[in-house]
Amino acid sequence: MSANIVRKQLSDFFREVGQAHAKNVLSWIGQYLPFMKEHPEVVEQNISRFGLYFTDAPAHNHLFALKCLIHVSEEVPAARPRIIKELGPVLHEYLPFWRDRPEMWERITRLLDILQLPLSASDKYYRDLARAVVTLKQPLILIVGAGFSYDTMPITSELQPLLLSLLRQVDILSPTEMISENDERVWKIAKEHQDKFKQMFVGWSAKMNPAPQHRIAARMLHDGQITHLISLNWDDLIERAYFDQFGEKIPKVTEDGISPAEPSLWKLHGDVDTIFSYWIFPYERGRVFGSLMESLKARAVNRYPQYALIVGYSEWEEEVRQRLIQWLQDNIATVIRIRPNWNTNDNRGIKETAKRFFQRLDIYFEIERKEHAEQKSSSWKQS
């Protein structure tokens, strides 16, 4: 059969992909795989059509589409990079939903294993993090800013309703105009009337519920996968997530001079549980406990963490940037920023929300745990 005829038959087959039910495509694919091996360039040109089963077709196509992709990735190695490029993002969007469906989860993890490549450039971080924390038992350092709680709590710039109420209570003329024109002045007034503001913020915070990232970070701290969980937020969402899961209060440091022996949550800028303590407000220099730096250095002497994650924090506070962030840059092998507005051309970070990042990281932790367990089982059987 001539090459032109083969290419035409392959092209005809791929025209059905995304149009016919994926179950039908799966029943046909076996007879076309030999042609795909001969002409991987045709596969590369058309592989994106499988994405239609995850974006435009009903969900009962998903399992059969994944089985098709497994066959193609096994039999046509040259097509793997194009599968990663064209289908990686959409597959990742489904990972959290497939996690609790055993058959789907088995297929997607099988596909990941066959590809032997991350689905996106940032996924190398997920895999390396999972291996370091789960298999090599190297806990990480986690620093969280306002963006960490974005899915639940408003970030600083979104506290306008709270600030508007405060300005009215303290008889500020044209409060709406002041908020839109002089944000720094607004926060200075909030600082001057901080007792009122703190009470209002406590009430606001109590109405919010922990999100997946709070629960995952709390569990990582509990399991010793985080050495220092450093929060620059006032809310107590991590604390509540910890209590909900383990029925006990989280180990927490809210003032300088305390050096706990166990992994702990460090609240550097204030805490809704201690409203009479000193809080750091926007436009201030920030604050870093001396005891935190001593604890970090002591931990580094015993065993350096290999990773530090800075999640949802803009790093504009001078004190935090000069003392804490710079120390991390100088002493930790890999410092990764996670922010939805991160520049994708900068490989020092990941453009992602905290929620999505921790959901994906948790998935890679599970994959790594499974693979590690299988390797240990295999080694035991061989011995």
Residue 186 to residue 164: CA distance in whole angstroms = 9
A 10 A CB-CB count for 379 gives: 9
* Cα 47 to chain centroid, rounded: 28
Q: What share of the chain is helix, strand, coil (3-state, %, to 5)?
A: 60, 10, 30
- In this structure, what DSSP letter does residue 27 have? H
Q: What is the pTM of this model?
A: 0.72
Q: Specify the pLDDT at position 379.
A: 59
Q: Is 126-150+208-372 in the same CATH topology as 3-120?
A: no
Residue 104 to residue 127: CA distance in whole angstroms = 20
Q: Where are the domains of the chain?
A: 3-120, 126-150+208-372, 156-206
Residue 156 to residue 187: CA distance in whole angstroms = 10
Q: 29 Cβ partners below 8 Å, 6+ apart?
A: 68, 71, 72
Residue 303 to residue 285: CA distance in whole angstroms = 31
Q: Which residue has the tokens 């009215």?
A: 168
Q: Specify the pLDDT at position 363.
A: 77
Q: What is the pLDDT of residues 201-231, one digit of tens each?
A: 999 889 889 999 999 999 999 999 999 999 9
Q: 119 Cβ partners below 8 Å, 6+ apart?
A: 84, 88, 89, 91, 92, 112
Residue 348 to residue 363: CA distance in whole angstroms = 22
A 10 A CB-CB count for 195 gives: 10
Average pLDDT value for the chain:
88
Architecture of domain 126-150+208-372: 3-Layer(aba) Sandwich (3.40)
Query: What angle in degrees, to the nearest 10, is found between the helix axes of 160-169 and 183-192?
Result: 60
Q: How buried is 126 (Cβ within 10 angstroms: 0-12 exposed, 13-18 middle, 19+ buried)?
A: buried
Q: Specify the pLDDT at position 159.
A: 77
Which residues, given as ranges, of the chain have pLDDT below 50? Answer: 117, 119
Task: Identify the CATH number of the domain defined by range 3-120.
Answer: 1.25.40
